[in-house]
Amino acid sequence: MNHDVEDLLRHHAPQVLGALVRRYGHFDPAEDAVQEALLAAARQWPRDGVPDNPRGWLIRVASRKLMDQLRADEARRRREEAEAALAPRDAFTAPPPGEGASGEGRAPSEDDTLTLLFLCCHPDLTPAAQIALTLRAVGGLTTAEIARAHLVPEATMAQRISRAKQRIKGVPFRPPRPEDRDQRLAAVLQVLYLIFNEGYTATSGRELHRADLAREAIRLTRAVRRLLPREGAVTGLLALMLLTEARSAARTGPHGELIPLDEQDRALWDRDAIREGTALVEEALAEGPAGAYQLQAAIAALHDEAERPEDTDWPQILALYDLLLRRAPEPDPMAELSRVVALAMAHGPEAGLVELGSFEERLAGHHRLDAVRAHLLERAGDTEGALAAYQAAAARTLSVPEARYLRTRAARLRDRDRDRAGQEGQDGQDRQEGPDVQPSP
């Protein structure tokens, strides 16, 4: 599918879904209808051209499909869907451009997307269900991608999403009450964080970076911040996204290969995003006690401010990770892995390897554990151990660029070890032959 069309559909999808849910309710069938409308657009728009009012087109098609679906349900469950059966047919058509989707003069907008975010994070849902449903309905991730992000089987995640949809069936489409806001805001921010992470480093596929998801997460976070400009967690999350995404242009080579942070061409980093992100970090830290997003943003700022890898303030980064883990409400294995790397950079790879063993069981089988172990063993000079760890990590990741990078590191180690062995053999031979070839005094 054309990338411009794909970006357009991703931009409008949550607003279209929000418009349908706001007017008709029925979250689950509304989402199905929107998905059918998106598929129709993906087939027709590249061939016939994008309509003048793409959002109106999607609403019109999705509304008609929803109407058909509700009427079919009415035939089977007349009592449960009596309201849908009584709705006039023209109530399910899209308004002309400029008119509201609900007939009330208000067009679907970012407000609908944000209300949809809060609906997906309803307090009747568990935190895990809130995150899964929002990633599916607003972020557009597949069930398989969400399952990989949560390290659970796809079937388990499918059941979780289905139960979440049933749980919020009939819930009014409106912003949360003030007493519910903090709880649901925390879930919304975690969802946006996960969407961004999936975009910045895709969990599977041939592409390392899914720019569409990363941009969508940043766009939605900006929208939340416009409504809540004094929330330190919102400001910190936006700063973290900007400071991380600023490095995206330098993370891959001409053939899509992964380039680690210490080997990146820092001239390719987006300095405007770094300046904005750094200013937001300072603002977020001044808005109250530093939470997880503010601390992670401060760590990202230290990385981005270093002109060279050797200029990185690893002791300060280590101190921030210590504070982050102390304040975390529950263990965070990924943050612990990052802390191990910071510890190794500040105090040597051996210190990092000792620390790695303290929580190895919790991440057994995860490719990032093997990748960190390989990196530390390589720095410690254990070529054989590093080779095995790189190969294990490459076999376990579902990301093609990550697997290629890990195998390349292993191949470099093998070549280096072979060259060293060959040189040592040549040196030994030179020493043995030395007396016979030395010139006479």
Q: Which residues contact 88 (CB under 8 A, 6 or more apart)?
A: none
Q: What is the structure's pLDDT at 424?
A: 57
Q: What is the structure's pLDDT at 143?
A: 84
Q: What is the structure's pLDDT at 26?
A: 76
398 forms bridges with which residues in the sheet? 204
Q: What is the structure's pLDDT at 134?
A: 84
**What's the DSSP call for residue 255?**
T
Q: What is the structure's pLDDT at 205?
A: 63
How far, in Å, CA of 201 to CA of 260, rounded? Answer: 12
Instruction: Name the strand (E) or helix (H) holding 399.
Output: strand 398-399
CA distances from residue 342 to 190, 244, 315, 382 in whole angstroms, order as listed = 24, 17, 8, 19
Tokens encoding 28: 């689950």
Q: What is the structure's pLDDT at 28?
A: 82
Q: What is the structure's pLDDT at 432?
A: 47
What pTM value is reported for the model?
0.72
Q: What is the structure's pLDDT at 149?
A: 66
How far, in Å, CA of 345 to CA of 333, rounded? Answer: 19
204 forms bridges with which residues in the sheet? 398
Q: What is the structure's pLDDT at 183?
A: 80
Sign of CA dihedral 138, 140, 142, 147: negative
Low-confidence ranges of the chain (pLDDT < 50): 79-108, 431-441
pLDDT digits (tens, 9 = 90+) for 15-50: 888 888 888 877 888 888 888 898 899 888 988 898
Q: Are 194 and 135 in contact (CB under 8 A)?
A: yes
How far, in Å, CA of 110 to CA of 172, rounded? Answer: 18
Q: What is the structure's pLDDT at 395?
A: 94
